[in-house]
Structure 1
Amino acid sequence: MKKVFKTLLLLVAAVLLLVGCKQQATPKPATLLDQPYSNTEYLMGTVVTIRVYDKGKESALDDAFKRISQLADEITVNEKGSEIDAVNAQAGVKPVKVTPSIYKLIEYAKYFSDNSDGAFDLAIGPITSLWHIGFPDARKPSQSEIDARLPLVNYKNVELNQADQTVYLKQKGMQLDLGGIAKGFITDEVVKVLKKDQVSTAIIDLGGNLYVLGHSPKHTNANWTVGIQDPKESRGVALGTVPAANKTIVTSGIYERYLKVGNKTYMHLMNPKTGYPFDNNLMGVSIITDKSVDGDALSTATFDKGLKDGLAYIEKRPHTEAIFITKDYKVYTTSGLKDTFKLVKGTKYKLATLQ
């Protein structure tokens, strides 16, 4: 296992303070621990923490981190040996055979590109690589540079062949960028590994992609209480809470990665229609659903759609809820959270409804 980044433990502790439990009278099962087995590593440019509460299941942490490292190597763009980089290198030339896991990831990304009418676009790579927000060489490109690359962003030109497990980008210069969905996919794969190792209770946190497996270890059948990130604060500061069990909570917001040019701040999520970062009244979106890969894609797609259309989009999806935070410090939730989402005491945010 890679060396644990102990210096990051204080940050991780802050994040995990957001996850508590709703008190009930039923005592906890004897097989669960008060102090979980835990490991924290810095992977894929983010802090990754896994906590396992099942007694005798410490080895599941090794299995989980091995799976994360394997997938990160296959997915990361411009990484030696990366399958995504190989697909991009053959754009307009030939299809590229990929592993079953990567094919499944790209298949998910293509589905959400279709489902969201391009609000989420897996072929956004020519634009994200131009801005490169979150990296030392980040810059605001010229309009002519953006105009030259925008025609390359078209999810409809990504051709999948399930029988051969190949991916083909039809136009030279096209690039896949799965950063908007990869952490969710990997989170779901970690859940599979833990379940295979017969882990019943755990917290998986891949840099904001949170999954709470099972129920709180404090009391049988008690929900975890999960904090919703304040998009104006550093990671680990909550503006509200929701109860959850066997659910993922995925948050996208302006706090994550951004580029400041003069008095203008540009977030890292890119609008595939304009070639610029999304710029509307939304400051953050949190998705609560069953699969983290869904939450990742939906949090990006709803930024494109904005508050009104984003709410309507999520309301149509089964087993999915959302919290929208606007720049005027108002919080809007989908109907399923009306009675369960709670603002933290003393917050500057206010609950609101669309008129």
Structure 2
Amino acid sequence: MKKRVCLSFIIVVIILTGCLSSSAEEMKNNPHRETEILMGTVVTLRIYDNDKEYVMEEAFERIRVLEDVMSVNVEGSEIDRINQAAGIEPVEVSDKVFKLIQDGVYYGADTDGIFDITIGPLTSLWQIGSDEARKPSQDELDEVLPLIDYEKIVLDEENQTVFLQEAGMRLDTGGIAKGYIADLLVDLFMEKEVESAIIDLGGDIYVIGENPSGREFTIGIQDPLTTRGQSLGNIQVKDKSIVTSGIYERFIEVDGVEYHHILDPYTGYPIMNELAGVTIISENTIDGDALSTAVFAKGLLDGLEYVEELEGVDAIFVTRDNEVYISSGITGQFELTNDAFNIIGN
């Protein structure tokens, strides 16, 4: 969870139609809504239940507490302590942090290492998204690449400890921490019996229930080739997560070449392929977080094939050539609204 504000690739477009009661009409126009800067990004929560405004305070407090234990940038956090003890000793952690790292290891194995939470030494070199962003030298990259290996994370379930086997290893859970926290907020909202809400953690979105008109929420997917907030289409969803990764989310330009933030743990450089952005629609936000990165890295054909094999997961692919591909599970749910793009395979 880098301390930076990121451009969101997802626009929350709430389109409510039909006859509404006066109470529903009020919530449609004026939901309980709060925004804060947390985890280095813009966090916005919207609750459409009349009597659930009090849940906001508890939700934001939960985010602050989780950030303090999961952020790599907070001195003394559990992730920081694991990194400081790399190659020295195991570190006992809380249930939530242990689960976060377990999930990170799982996705490392499931994606053949293209998603790797030990990528910290590499992201620390590039620092894309911060004022210190730069292009590292090849010698610097060669030095840290051997340290990136999720298989060198030792998890001890009995003692609930995490150990990085080599000195210099460094966890960077920014690729899944927001998604994990979003899922924990969903759990909180379910405990409080919130029936209609949108959780937006800097573009990691989860939609709870239906909108006040009794229909699925309409979520706009932003054009990843522009920073102007233009959407390329809409998707109808309820009780789903929507997460996007793309080339213009964070990048630096060096000698006329743009380097985006999605780094290849094998080469050390940003992944270059035909894709501009990938949006994942899934049951859990942590899955969408990890998969949006991994599927982007796989490229269009391999990424689409991979998604089609996953249960409960769909994707929208946007190429640099303004072509849009969607997985079979959301045929009829996604509507292209931008004439600059062509939809293929729908």
Matched, 1:50 2:45: yes
Q: Cα distance, 1:236 vs. partner?
A: 4.1
The one of 118, 126, 148 equivalent to 1:123 is: 118
Distance 1:164 1:19 in 2: 46
Once the two structures are TM-superposed, the CA of residue 291 in structure 1 deviates from its matched residue by 0.3
Q: Is contact 2:200–2:206 with CA below 8 Å preserved after alignment?
A: yes
5+ unaligned residues in a row in structure 1: which ranges? 1-7
Deviations 1:290-330 (A, max 9, x none): 10000000001012211111011111111110001111110
Gaps of at least 5 residues in structure 2 are: none
Q: Let me know the Cα RMSD of the aligned residues.
A: 2.0
2:266 counterpart letter in structure 1: K
- Who is 2:211 aligned against? 216
1:258 aligned residue (251, 257, 268): 251
Alpha carbons 1:97, 1:167 under 8 Å: kept: yes
User: CA offsets per residue over residues 141-165 of structure 1, 9 Å max, x none?
Assistant: 0001101110000011011111111
- Please give the alpha-carbon distance, in whole angstroms, between the structure 2 residues aligned to 1:235 and 1:165: 45
Q: Which amino acid aligns with 1:33?
A: M
C-alpha distance in 1 between matches for 2:255 and 2:21:
54
Moved more, 315-324 or 74-83: 74-83
Aligned residues of 2:45 and 2:56 also touching (Cα < 8 A):
yes
2:327 to 323, 334, 337: 334
Per the normalisation by structure 1, the TM-score is 0.91
> How far apart are 1:283 and its partner, in Å?
0.5
Match of 2:339 among 337, 347, 351: 347
Find the aligned partners of 1:240 and 1:91 in 2 and give their Cα distance. Answer: 45
Is residue 33 of structure 1 aligned with residue 19 of structure 2?
A: no
The answer to whether the aligner puts 1:325 opposite 2:318 as a matched pair is yes
Is contact 2:48–2:211 with CA below 8 Å preserved after alignment?
no
**Closer, same or farther: CA 80–114 of 1 in aligned 2, 3 Å:** same
**In structure 1, what residue type is equivalent to 2:155?**
L
Deviates more, 1:104-113 or 1:254-263: 254-263
- Taking a change above 3 Å as real, the CA distance of residues 29 and 172 of structure 1, as seen in their structure-2 partners, is farther
Say if 1:119 and 1:301, in contact at 8 Å, map to a contact too.
yes
- Aligned twin of 1:3: none
- The total of aligned residue pairs comes to 338
1:273 equivalent to 2:277? Answer: no
Q: Deviations along 1:69-100, whole A, 9 cap, x unmatched?
A: 11111111131221111101111111101111
Tell me, yes or no, if structure 1 residue 104 matches structure 2 residue 99.
Answer: yes
Residues 28/104 of structure 1: CA separation in 2 closer, same or farther (3 Å cut):
farther
Contact 1:15 1:236 in 2 (8 A): yes
> 3-state SS of the aligned residue for 1:347?
coil
- The answer (yes or no) to whether the contact 1:229–1:235 under 8 Å persists in 2 is no
Q: 1:352 to 1:118 in 2, by over 3 A?
A: same
Instruction: Tell me the secondary structure at the aligned position of residue 270 of structure 1.
Output: coil
Q: How does 1:126-205 map to 2 (within 5 A)?
A: 126-205=121-200
Mapped partners of 2:70, 2:59: distance in 1: 17
Paired residue type of 1:142: S
